[in-house]
Amino acid sequence: MLKLELVLQGTGLSPAESGVNNYVLSHVDDLMHMTIRSLAEACYTTPTTVIRYCRKIGYSGFEEFKIQIRQDLSRYDFESCSIRRAEKPVEVINKLRVMHADVISKTVDLISIGQLEAIVRRIREASVVDIIAFDVNAALADYASQYFFQVGKICNVYEDMNQQLMLAMYARPQDHVIFILSRSGLSPRVLKTCRQLKANRQYAVAVTGQPGDELNCYCAHVLHALFKDDFREIGDLTFFTSAKFLFDCLINLYCTTNYDEVLEKEKRYNDLYIEEPF
């Protein structure tokens, strides 16, 4: 079994071998195009040191090492997705790869198919999709807004609390589906808006990392996205990845259940864009 822990941690290597190891972790994509001599020169060492390094970490020689190292490192799983001091680029890349797959897998476990189908039916009936979001969640709202426009739905993003409250008060309930993005689900601003949505009988869907009794009371549906309230545990990225997957599911489900209509709207847009490009 290859000793990838040795590669990542750099323990048990001589100073010259450590130099090769550090170069490998920073230039793993370049290795396929390098010879043993060019690698040695880049590391200010000798081909003998490179061969010794390759064998010490578990490969038969330089050619096997050059072919396998990138693939083997990409398969390395990390127990923790937390940010740590002085991580190597390959550690960051693979850690985030593992994190994305894990977050999506766990999000799927929390999905209710019946909920998604009910929301898609309501979107089909509505003429406007609104998204209420604060701070970093507004970036996710902008992503979803573009996606909704592509399938033919007018979509507005509301970041200002005054506008959010007025939307809750004055929007015609039969015309709107209103999404609320909240990592904690506990923000007083969010809850105040949700109470007004409920009072005006608006169709609201919360996407939150911490579903609670109040949100369940105020919203027609609550979609659970993963969230950790810890910067070192990449909490915001976790929520963004999970919530984005939920929106992707909703919009793709909308496309497949309204297939011909969506294609016709896309064709009309493309014809206009090609005829009069921006």
User: Residues 48-59: pLDDT tens digits?
Assistant: 999 998 888 888
In this prediction, residue 2 has a pLDDT band, given cuts at 50, 70 and 90, of very low
Q: Which of 20-29, 143-152, 249-258 has the lowest mean pLDDT?
A: 20-29
Enter the tokens of residue 200.
């005006």
Say whether pLDDT at 121 is over 90: yes
Enter the tokens of residue 182.
């909240």
Say whether pLDDT at 184 is over 90: no
Higher pLDDT, 67 or 19: 19
111/1 Cα distance (integer angstroms): 38
8/78 Cα distance (integer angstroms): 11
Query: Span 4-75: which CATH code?
Result: 1.10.10.10
Residue ranges covered by each domain of the chain:
4-75, 113-274
Burial class (CB in 10 A: 0-12, 13-18, 19+), 267: exposed
What is the pLDDT averaged over residues 210-226?
83
User: How much is the pLDDT for 237?
Assistant: 84
Say whether pLDDT at 75 is over 60: no
DSSP state of 152: T
Q: What CATH fold (topology level) applies to the domain 113-274?
A: Rossmann fold (3.40.50)
Give the HSE-up count for residue 33: Cα atoms under 13 Å, Cβ half-sphere.
Answer: 3
The pTM score is: 0.70
Higher pLDDT, 33 or 7: 33
- The gap between the terminal CA atoms of the chain, to the nearest Å, is 56
User: How much is the pLDDT for 1?
Assistant: 38
Q: What is the pLDDT of residues 265-274, one digit of tens each?
A: 888 888 887 7
User: How much is the pLDDT for 79?
Assistant: 46
